[in-house]
Amino acid sequence: MKNRVIVTGGAGYIGSHTAVELAQSGYTPVLLDNFSNSTPAALDGLREILGFEPEFEQVDCADKSALFAAMEHIASRGTVEGIIHFAAFKAVGESTQEPLKYYANNVASTVHLLEAAAHFNLTEFVFSSSCTVYGQPEHIPVDEEAPIRRAESPYGYTKQACERILADFCASGYPMKAALLRYFNPIGAHPSSKIGELPLGHPNNLIPYLTQAAAGLRDPLTVFGNDYPTPDGTCIRDYIHVMDLARAHVAALQWLKNQPPTCEPFNLGTGQGNSVLEVIQAFERATGVAVPHAIGARRPGDVTAIFADATKAQNVLGWTSEKTLEEALLDAWNWQQALNN
Ligand code: WQD
């Protein structure tokens, strides 16, 4: 198999959608996952879309010896082009209650993967980072020059720490080429509705809760505060279709191939901000389905507004988002209905 690319967290939300884009761009995804925040069923849908059985290793990337064993196994089957590292815990609220779980998993997995990359002479590394590294930005839209401010949560700090670990490793003499992809708010699902966001338990993020409330599976959506200094009082975010985000990972891999050793951040957003109420209205327009909701208290740690200046990804990677908020919300709703059936 040619152009094999390791995808850690490959059974997860962004990882599985990126595996689809990789396959459609001539790469062969090699999935690593320990199902700590996904299920084997996620691979069923991915298998259907890919049309072949993807290489898969069930492994915890934070377990160094298990990771090296899996990497030996992968290397024995042929060469590897690079690594895309998604595997991490990502619930902001949970991270404040269980910080050690987040540091042990998110930071250790990145360190062990870089140790493995050096051992197996891999020099291309795409890291799943987040706009959360900016904290509450002073100016929006936020570009990659914006200061890295105090993280609002241990989750956010693990992203800052991993970016720093990558920067130090890339400057250490090992010829590593890394892209730090800072996602804004990924939403939606593959148009086939065979894969999507599988929140296990109570959803932390807006869209999975919204679609479950619209489906009558949950209590009405609580809008976390409408007294923010924004036009309608609710928080503003940059919601980007997960398929646009997946495409950016392929663009980053292609870009890294021709680079000298580097460690480069890229904001991946639409460049447009929408409030929570605007998202609810867009969902109702796109689907014709009402979202039962009520205004509630603010959620600690939420920033008032953040959305991307994504011109660097456009100028350097030749990538821009293409899908609209309505398309993403309709794909999210179709996925929710597929899950219900
Ligand atoms: C979005 C908006 C909430 C739920 C976090 C991480 C980021 C990334 C995405 C992992 C906010 C409001 C939400 C609800 C609501 N992490 N909301 N009612 O907090 O912007 O970003 O998740 O991938 O790194 O920081 O995303 O979806 O939780 O919230 O009103 O029931 O929706 O207040 O304004 P967030 P979110």
DSSP 277-319: HHHHHHHHHHHS----EEEEPPPTT--SB--B--HHIIIII--
CA of 220 to the centre of ligand 1 (A): 16
Q: Are 183 and 128 in contact (CB under 8 A)?
A: yes
Global model pTM greater than 0.95: yes
Our answer on whether the CB atom of 242 is closer than 6 Å to any ligand 1 atom is no
Would you place residue 187 in the very low, low, confident or very high pLDDT band (cuts 50, 70, 90)? very high
CA of 186 to the centre of ligand 1 (A): 10
The neighbour count for residue 150, using CB atoms within 10 Å, is 9
Q: Are 319 and 250 in contact (CB under 8 A)?
A: no
Our answer on whether the CB atom of 235 is closer than 6 Å to any ligand 1 atom is yes
Q: Quick one: pLDDT at residue 327?
A: 98
Would you place residue 200 in the very low, low, confident or very high pLDDT band (cuts 50, 70, 90)? confident
What are the tokens at 264?
């480069």
Q: Which atom of ligand 1 is nearest to the CA of 306?
A: 20
Q: Are 165 and 115 in contact (CB under 8 A)?
A: no
pLDDT at 41 over 90: no
- 232-268 residue pLDDT tens: 999 999 999 999 999 999 999 999 999 999 999 999 9
What are the structural domains, with CATH classification, of the chain? 4-188+239-269 (3.40.50.720)
pLDDT at 199 over 80: no
What are the tokens at 256?
């890294």
- 48-105 residue pLDDT tens: 999 999 999 999 999 999 999 999 999 999 999 999 999 999 988 899 999 999 999 9
Number of continuous H segments (helices) and E segments (strands) in the chain: 12, 13
Our answer on whether the CB atom of 211 is closer than 6 Å to any ligand 1 atom is no
How much is the mean pLDDT over the chain? 96
CA of 215 to the centre of ligand 1 (A): 20
pLDDT at 1 over 80: no
- 5-14 residue pLDDT tens: 999 999 999 9
**Helix, strand, coil percent content, the chain, rounded in steps of 5:** 40, 20, 40
Angle between helix axes 64-76 and 108-119 (nearest 10 degrees) is: 40
Q: Which atom of ligand 1 is nearest to the CA of 130?
A: 24
Q: Quick one: pLDDT at residue 2?
A: 85
